[in-house]
Structure 1
Amino acid sequence: MSSDPLIPRKASSEAESHEADRRDLSQVTARQIFALALPALGVLAAMPLYLLLDTAVVGRLGGFELAALGAAVTIQSQVTTQLTFLSYGTTARSSRLFGAGDRRGAIAEGVQATWVAVFVGTGIALTMIIFAPWFTLWLSGNREVADAAAEWLRAAALAVPLVLIIMAGNGWLRGIQNTRLPLYFTLAGVVPGAILIPVMVNRYGLVGSAYANVIAEGITAALFLLALAKYHKGPWRPRWSIIRRQLSLGRDLIMRSLSFQVAFLSAAAVAARFGTASLAAHQVMLQLWNFITLVLDSLAIAAQTLTGAALGAGSAQLARKVGNRVIIYSMVFAGGLGLFFAALYQVIPRIFTRDEVVLEAIADPWWVMIVMIILGGVVFAIDGVLLGASDAVFLRNASILAVLLGFLPGVWISYLLDGGLTGVWLGLLAFIAIRLFAVVWRFSSMRWARAGATVS
């Protein structure tokens, strides 16, 4: 429990309410888990759906504008994806304090994460504004497309600090076991942003899409800041000792995220070498897998929040109990998803394509994806537990080893032996399988709880 004299005491009624939360933790149920997971799923799904609408609206302008948008969004998303540590790292630290009975400290963690968002986000935004033409030309290889993409990227750069503030806000609110407010705040920004996309694009062209994005992110970020102002009662100045620890945790999570990018970018590159049909089939399956990971990630967020709180309460046994229950629920849920995709194996692919050659390319790797879904139910849940314990170094190492020892050898062997798209997805399965063995061993060893005990 934090003894920071800068954080004032709260009313006894709030303390009593929090004590009730801690007692309920030992009786964690499916209802409690899904009460955290479902709003988190809404937050995770909102932006991909928004981007689909954005793409559809810009696509009406023509192929040139769509290509420019694709180049610009790819650069922006690659940057912001690597900075999700502001959500996951803040949740880990905040939930620990919350479980220890220090709700004020848990919220104060959000203040420091918000400072990180402002500093890092401003630096990235300036970099994007200055170097946008070089970035977009490198990616697109076409000067005209690059110039249009650079204009979009420079306008959208203003949203980068806002996106990171939103990530920090998600982190501390998840840490105090509130996933509903982030959903409300996200919808409050996404809905008007979605309405503005056609209006702004019609008036300003491609760059209007970026303006709508900035407005949407600005509304959501403002709501997170208002919530922080309402709940935080201590000082607002940066505390560099806490910021350094947040950045240290973030370094490991960024390296873990980069290993995922290597795996999936390599998969797309090899799939393309097997022909247009294989690449199209891979794109369909990859979009489905991305949706599935959003669903399983929502359960992992619940696992992270509850595990961090249990460790904060000082009980490794309680943390293991919470972990076991979340893993079981996630396995059941993943099994249900696997059965759903198995039963509709002839229906779902036809929603995305009617090309018989592409459908034939999907047929065999489809069953590999189903195995990945089932294994992923365990992997994602334990990932959440380990993130809740701030065991980021192990997760980083396990992910990198899974890429180096599982995915890359598997996928390139498939290429050399002409294994087709099935071989590519077997490489991804090897990536998941190695991670499965690693996280199951780690969870069983309880070393994650000891590692978590050293985090302050």
Structure 2
Amino acid sequence: MFPLVSVTTSFVAEEDATSSSCTEAEEIEEIEMGCASDSEMEKLITQVGFSDTRKAKMEQKRRHIPSASSALFIGSILGIIQTLFLIFTAKPLLGYMGVNSESPMLKPAERYLTLRSFGAPAILLSLAMQGIFRGFKDTKTPLYATMVGDAANVVLDPIFIFTLHLGVNGAAIAHVISQYIIAFILFWRLSAQVDLLPPSFKDVQYRRFLENGLLLLVKVIAATICVTVAASLAARQGSTSMAAFQVCLQIWLATSLLADGLAIAGQAILASSFAKKDYEKVLATASRVLQSALVLGLVLSIILSAVLPFSSGLFTKDISVLQLISLGIPFVAATQPLNALAFVFDGVNYGASDFAYSAFSMVMVAIVSIICLFILSSSHSYIGIWIALCIYMTLRIFAGLFRIGTGTGPWRFLRS
């Protein structure tokens, strides 16, 4: 799902920048040619009514962005596929997750998963539209839509669960309704800005989306495998080690995701700048977001160093778990600058539409990191896992620096 958002953001930002440049060029050309004199314009304004003028303005504002139509089309198809998949495989999936056929949880869980699956098209469409708005550098609209949808979910949950006595089914229905509310708001706002229907099926860039989306899917899988291996190695060391590792890992990832805002902003600005071949702005944007990421990481590092030693008791009262958490806290705090830079480098790569390198480099980083995980966990136990994860984030930064530093791929302009 998230590869769809990232790919959409870059492609929409590129096309929006290109279309804006073309529109500006056409307007300048019309002015220079003197297509309409001041007297002719005044006469035209007096002849056209207020409603027609407003309609004309609305039509001018609406843009044709092929990537937007493509993202919605692909999001719809993926949503329908996901719905059908969950409906027909709900029982086997639950069995794989540990719910056996004799468990009293099976039927309620199966009904819940089946009902929730009907929200998949809305979720995929919402993600696609979030990517479109990000490409337009508009992050407010998705935020407001999500807030309204979440508020509706909070209100509907007790009504369906307790008032209507629907129980677990009510929770699923409330969630599905909230997802469609979010999708409706985003669609309503988007339809006022973009012509969502492509002129023909040939304009749907499904191949471009699928190729780059699959590359990002490979990247996500590689990153997920690396973290999953780390968790499994912690689990092999016992329940105490696993519990401490999960607490530290969730804090480590949650705080690092704060850098996603910088990555998204950098991605949208870089994509439009690359499309305009405004390389000065490309360099300025890349430098600024990376500097901001470093500052954010240092601030988070200081905050976590000060807060975590005194707040770890909120997660558990087990003394042995707390002791291991205290060993992980220095790594969680110290690596925040590394994490922030790693996430922002992802945004820089996406903004440059360098999806192939992003995927390839992550696979290489994951392979080296997994080897380090096995070696260091066997030699240094719990601490070794965290050392390996530090190496993992450092390698991600090195991969980003290497691409820019060598002036290869979309950064070839640095050589001139």
Give the TM-score of the pair, scaled to structure 2: 0.84
Deviations 1:244-302 (A, max 9, x none): 10111100011111112212222221111112221111121122123113201111111
Secondary structure at the counterpart of residue 340 of structure 1: helix
Kindly indicate whether residue 399 of structure 2 is the aligned counterpart of residue 438 of structure 1. Answer: yes
In the alignment, which of 78, 81, 95 is matched to residue 137 of structure 1?
A: 95
Kindly indicate whether residue 2 of structure 2 is the aligned counterpart of residue 84 of structure 1. Answer: yes
Would the alpha carbon gap of residues 127 and 234 (structure 1) be closer, same or farther in structure 2, given more than 3 Å must change?
A: closer
Kindly indicate whether residue 99 of structure 2 is the aligned counterpart of residue 99 of structure 1. Answer: no
* Structure 1 unaligned regions, length at least 5: 1-82
Deviations 1:304-339 (A, max 9, x none): 111111112212332122100111011111111011
| Structure 1 position 447, deviation (Å) | 2.6
Which residue type is aligned with residue 113 of structure 2? L
- Is 1:382–1:443's contact at 8 Å kept on the other side of the alignment? no
- Is 1:93–1:106's contact at 8 Å kept on the other side of the alignment? no
Deviations 1:330-352 (A, max 9, x none): 11111110111112231232232
Match of 2:112 in 1: 152
Secondary structure at the counterpart of residue 308 of structure 2: coil
| Structure 1 position 129, deviation (Å) | 0.4
Which residue type is aligned with residue 344 of structure 1? V
| Structure 1 position 409, deviation (Å) | 1.4
- Is 1:402–1:430's contact at 8 Å kept on the other side of the alignment? no
In the alignment, which of 112, 123, 130 is matched to residue 170 of structure 1?
A: 130
Kindly indicate whether residue 169 of structure 2 is the aligned counterpart of residue 211 of structure 1. Answer: no
Larger Rg: 2
Instruction: Give percent identity, aligned residues only.
Output: 24
- Is 1:303–1:323's contact at 8 Å kept on the other side of the alignment? yes
Secondary structure at the counterpart of residue 97 of structure 2: helix
Match of 2:192 in 1: 230
User: 2:145 and 2:64 mapped to 1: Cα distance?
Assistant: 20
Match of 1:329 in 2: 292
- Is 2:294–2:341's contact at 8 Å kept on the other side of the alignment? yes
User: 1:405 and 1:234 mapped to 2: Cα distance?
Assistant: 44
Which residue type is aligned with residue 286 of structure 1? L
User: 1:224 and 1:451 mapped to 2: Cα distance?
Assistant: 37
- Is 1:111–1:228's contact at 8 Å kept on the other side of the alignment? no
Which residue type is aligned with residue 317 of structure 1? E
Match of 2:375 in 1: 413
User: 1:137 and 1:146 mapped to 2: Cα distance?
Assistant: 8
Deviations 1:67-94 (A, max 9, x none): xxxxxxxxxxxxxxxx212211000111
Match of 1:20 in 2: none
Would the alpha carbon gap of residues 346 and 451 (structure 1) be closer, same or farther in structure 2, given more than 3 Å must change?
A: same
Kindly indicate whether residue 218 of structure 2 is the aligned counterpart of residue 258 of structure 1. Answer: no
Which residue type is aligned with residue 181 of structure 2? I
| Structure 1 position 239, deviation (Å) | 4.0
Kindly indicate whether residue 72 of structure 2 is the aligned counterpart of residue 109 of structure 1. Answer: no
- Is 2:66–2:205's contact at 8 Å kept on the other side of the alignment? no
Secondary structure at the counterpart of residue 138 of structure 2: coil
Kindly indicate whether residue 235 of structure 2 is the aligned counterpart of residue 272 of structure 1. Answer: yes
User: 1:239 and 1:222 mapped to 2: Cα distance?
Assistant: 26
User: 2:262 and 2:119 mapped to 1: Cα distance?
Assistant: 28
* Structure 2 unaligned regions, length at least 5: 22-61
| Structure 1 position 95, deviation (Å) | 1.0
In the alignment, which of 125, 140, 149 is matched to residue 189 of structure 1?
A: 149
Which residue type is aligned with residue 443 of structure 1? I
Which residue type is aligned with residue 84 of structure 2? L
In the alignment, which of 252, 265, 274 is matched to residue 311 of structure 1?
A: 274
Match of 1:201 in 2: 161
Cα RMSD, aligned residues only: 2.0
Would the alpha carbon gap of residues 231 and 241 (structure 1) be closer, same or farther in structure 2, given more than 3 Å must change?
A: closer
Would the alpha carbon gap of residues 448 and 92 (structure 1) be closer, same or farther in structure 2, given more than 3 Å must change?
A: farther
- Is 2:13–2:271's contact at 8 Å kept on the other side of the alignment? yes
User: 1:226 and 1:194 mapped to 2: Cα distance?
Assistant: 23
Match of 2:80 in 1: 122
Match of 2:249 in 1: 286
Give the TM-score of the pair, scaled to structure 1: 0.76
Deviations 1:362-385 (A, max 9, x none): 112221222321112221122111
- Is 1:92–1:390's contact at 8 Å kept on the other side of the alignment? yes
Which residue type is aligned with residue 227 of structure 1? R
User: 1:225 and 1:376 mapped to 2: Cα distance?
Assistant: 34
User: 1:448 and 1:212 mapped to 2: Cα distance?
Assistant: 47
Deviations 1:162-187 (A, max 9, x none): 11101111111111111000100111
Deviates more, 1:119-128 or 1:141-150: 141-150
User: 2:75 and 2:147 mapped to 1: Cα distance?
Assistant: 21
- Is 1:95–1:308's contact at 8 Å kept on the other side of the alignment? yes
Kindly indicate whether residue 160 of structure 2 is the aligned counterpart of residue 242 of structure 1. Answer: no
- Is 1:402–1:434's contact at 8 Å kept on the other side of the alignment? yes
